[in-house]
Amino acid sequence: MRNYEAIYILKSDMEEEAIVSAITRFENVVKNGGGEIIKLDRWGKRRLAYELNDYTEGHYVLMLFNSSTAASQELERLLRISDFVLRQLIIKKEE
């Protein structure tokens, strides 16, 4: 099990229940892969540094988790193909 840090930006025009549903979906990918969520921090709606796909704001979410490499790769795959995710980044943290 390795430590990972994931940050992703959801579209600003999403409803609150859609945001919660998306966050829960990404949490479940880690949990179903045998990992555990250490910390989940919703930063809320913030202004983007530059325009992305006609969006100037987005909902930022930070997730710290332990998981296998396969689970983190599956999370990254889902973040990339999701229409409501503007940007995502997953990094492996030092032990």
pLDDT digits (tens, 9 = 90+) for 32-48: 888 899 999 999 899 98
- Tell me the pTM: 0.86
Task: Give the residue ranges of DSSP H helices in 1-95.
Answer: 16-32, 69-81
User: Minimal CA–CA distance to 59: which of 75, 73, 43, 80?
Assistant: 43
Q: Which CATH superfamily is domain 2-92 in?
A: Ribosomal protein S6/Translation elongation factor EF1B (3.30.70.60)
Rounded-to-integer distance, Cα 39 and Cα 65, Å: 7
User: Minimal CA–CA distance to 10: which of 82, 75, 85?
Assistant: 85
**Residue 95 confidence (pLDDT) above 70:** no
Rounded-to-integer distance, Cα 21 and Cα 1, Å: 26
